[in-house]
Amino acid sequence: TTSTFISGTLDAKLTDKITGYLTYSIDWISTDTESYSSKGATLILNYRPGRLFNISGNFSIRNVRNDTTTSEGTSISWRPVRKIKLDISYLHSKIEPGPTTIDSYSGSGTWYITRFLDFRLSYGYNKTVNSNVKESYNVRFLLNGRI
């Protein structure tokens, strides 16, 4: 198997409160039985109006063996008080041909109990739709201690 690739990242501070990131990659893969290429790019924009609040949006497109996946999503992070952080996010993906769509929702809350101990509660939901519908849920409780 032979693999050759080109990739790069461009990041920019657009304003005092908005930053942007663009990543791209092109891969050429050759095996004994086939040769193919894949191409992809992701754009992320972050808006941070203050130290305690952040909104991020992303768009991604990737093509591998004539299957194209597009994704767009958003996430919000907020620290209402110094000891608590809340995060929510949503991601929508579509795979063509097919089509297959995937919707993912997640949220979490972190309580910084002490400088060395925090507690996190997180929830996630995924829904995949193609010839059938598949749903999954998860809930996590995490107590993290540092020495």
pLDDT value of position 116:
93
Mind listing the pLDDT tens digit for each residue in 61-103? 999 988 999 999 999 999 999 999 999 999 999 999 878 999 9
Mind listing the pLDDT tens digit for each residue in 24-60? 999 999 888 888 899 999 999 999 998 889 999 999 9
- Average confidence (pLDDT) over 106-127: 96
Residue type at 61?
I
Are 107 and 122 spatial neighbours (Cβ–Cβ below 8 Å)? yes
Are 103 and 77 spatial neighbours (Cβ–Cβ below 8 Å)? no
Whole-prediction pTM value? 0.82
pLDDT value of position 1:
84
- Average confidence (pLDDT) over 108-127: 96
pLDDT value of position 66:
84
- Average confidence (pLDDT) over 104-133: 95
What domains are there in the chain, each with its CATH number? 39-145 (2.40.160.40)
Would you give the DSSP letter of residue 12?
E
The token pair at 107 is 């949220």
Half-sphere exposure of 5 (CA within 13 A, CB side): 11
Kindly list the strands in the beta sheet with 2-13, ordered across the sheet, starting from the edge strand earlier in the chain.
2-13, 18-30, 35-50, 53-64, 67-81, 84-96, 100-112, 117-129, 133-145
Mind listing the pLDDT tens digit for each residue in 124-134? 999 999 989 99
pLDDT value of position 108:
98
